[in-house]
Every structure is written in structure tokens, then in C-alpha cells.
Structure 1
Amino acid sequence: MAQQRRELPTVEDTEALGRELSADLTAGDLVVLDGPLGAGKTALTRGIADGLGVQGRVSSPTFVIARQHRAGAAAGAVPMVHVDAYRLGGDLDELDALDLDTDLQHAVVVVEWGLGVVEHLADRHLRVRLSREPESDVRTAVWEWVE
């Protein structure tokens, strides 16, 4: 799949893109989110979670590092693990302690700040780069499957 790009004028647009991306995700998929603070990584994750049909409110897991969301009751719902790798600071021992490779067998794993840190966990991953225009709420997403 070729690289795709979309402008996201509102938070709702960012969440809608997450729901759209979730249609191609199944247990075992890794999603790596990259972008500066305020670029929309958590909003995109909320949309992915909604599309997957997971339970529970999705918020940034900054202080707990990883948050597990069980699959909802809807047919086809898939569990999701939401990780914030920012505080790991590239500490691969702490990353290994999260046991994400085991989670990947049963869930979609979405990692904020994961670029350059978690790609080795899967044979392929969906990389989403988010940016925000200066002095604006308009965000841009660029995404592609990387093998």
C-alpha cells in the first residue's frame, strides 16, 4: 500500500481517520504513531479504538505507559493495547518488560512516540506520522504499511 496523506482540520476528523484505519487492523497488528506533542496521536488512537470496538475510555497512557482495552461485545471487536513510549526514552529493557510481543498475538498494539523503538516487534507495522501546522489546529497525517 502506497503512502497516503490527509489534512485533518478538526479533532473529529482525526478520530474519523482512526476509525477508517481500524478497518484494516486485526489482532497481531502494530501501529506506530509519530509526531510532536499536540499533533493528535491520542485522538487518532481514540478513533482506532472506536473502530475496533474496544471497551473503556481511551486517554493518553503517559503515566501508566501501557493501557489494555478489552474487546467489546460487538461481533468482530478486537482488543487493543495503547502504549506511550515517550517516558521509556529508548530504554529497551523497560520496553521488553511490557511484554508487547505477547500482546501482539491477541490484540492490536498502538504505540505513541514509538518510531525507532518498537518496529522490531512485528514483521510489518502501520506507521502514522502526524504534524500540526504552527498557530493552527489543522493537522496532517501521513501513513503507510512498512515491512
Structure 2
Amino acid sequence: MSEEYSVSVALDVATAEEMRRLGLRLGGLLRAGDLLVLTGDLGAGKTTLTQGIGSGLNVRGPITSPTFVIARVHPALAGGPALVHADAYRLGGFAELDDLDLDAETPESVTVVEWGEGLAEGLADARLEVIISRGHGPGETRKVKINGVGERWAGLATELS
């Protein structure tokens, strides 16, 4: 990938509750038009992170994995942006992602695409790419790397510390 990141933040996340809290913190930073592309193995915590983001955005829930419905829209409960939560796992490529018309939703919503690496980056010039790696052994602490692409995310390290 030839794009330059504005910032990269690496965090250790020990529990599902910590993953939700990270999502809550991220949700407080997000605004309409923001795109997050989540990458990680099955069970890494992508949906758990999105649950926290939904709490931070104050959207209608519950937030569950959209694997079988491909995409869900969670309307805002109090004047903020809606959350569009998509899962690209079963999609055959960019053409199928394009058929979802997520780019039409992006300007008014916060869009989170699980399994979107290599597919969803074109939905917005600025985005957060979140890579979650499962730990090995007792406790399975996750490593979360958040890459902010574009000027929009230049202050991310400060905002997350």
C-alpha cells in the first residue's frame, strides 16, 4: 500500500470489556463521514469493538455481527450520526461491496466495515484501519493497531492517550 499514515497507535487489550471501552473512546472521536476498516481473525474482537463504538455514538442497538445480513444501520438516538455496520467476509470482491451503496451512506454516518481490508478503503479518503491480533496463551491479550490515514487523524495518538 503506497498511502502514508498520519499516525499509528498500538494498544494491548486484555479483555472484551477493555475492547468495548476502546470502542467507546473511539466513538467519542468519530463524526459523520468517518470510515473504520476492521481486520482480525474470527473472534478477535471486531464486533466487540463496534459495540463500544455504538455506545460512544449513542446509537440504537443491539449491535451484533452483521455476517448474515451483510450490513445494518443503527440510527442515532440523540442527534449524532448513525452507525452503518457492515461485514465484507462473505463478499466476493469490490463489486459486491459497491452493490451495498455504502458510499451513499458514508457522508451522513459513521461506517464500520469488518473484514474490509483490501475492499473498503476506497469508500473514504481519510479512514481508520484497525488491525486486531489475538494473543496466544492464557488471557489472550489482543494487540490493536490503529492506523489513521489522512489529515483527519493527525491528532489520534494524543486523543487516545
Match of 2:7 in 1: 2
Matches of 1:55 and 1:146, distance apart in 2? 28
Counterpart selection for 1:78 from 70, 81, 105: 81
Q: Which residue of 2 aligns with 1:30?
A: 35
Structure 2 counterpart of 1:50, from 38, 51, 55: 55
Which residue in 1 is equivalent to 2:99?
Answer: 97
Residue 26 of structure 2 is matched in structure 1 by: 21
In 2, Cα distance between equivalents of 1:11 and 1:56: 18
Structure 1 runs of 4+ off > 6 angstroms? none
Q: Is the 8 A contact 2:7 2:149 kept in 1?
A: no
* RMSD, aligned α-carbons: 1.2
Give the deviation of 1:77 after TM superposition: 2.6
CA displacement 1:70-116 (0-9 Å, x = unmatched): 001x3x53200000000003x22211110001100210000000111
The residue that corresponds to 2:91 in the other structure is 88
Residue pairs, 1:120-135, within 5 angstroms: 120-135=122-137
CA distance in 2: counterparts of 1:92 and 1:133, whole angstroms: 30
Taking structure 1 as the reference length, the TM-score comes to 0.93
How far did residue 144 of structure 1 move? 2.0
Deviation readout 1:42-73 (Å, 9 max, x if unpaired): 0000000100000020000000000110001x
Structure 1 equivalent of residue 113 of structure 2: 111
Aligned-partner residue type, residue 88 of structure 1: L
Whole-Å separation in 1 of the counterparts to 2:60 and 2:140: 28
Q: Structure 2, unaligned stretches of length 5 or more?
A: 1-5, 151-161
How far is the alpha carbon of 1:23 from its aligned partner?
1.9
Give the Cα–Cα distance (whole angstroms) in 2 for the partners of residues 77 and 142 of structure 1.
Answer: 26
State the TM-score, normalized to the length of structure 2: 0.85
Shift of 1:41: 0.3
Identity of aligned residues (%): 49
Aligned residues: 144
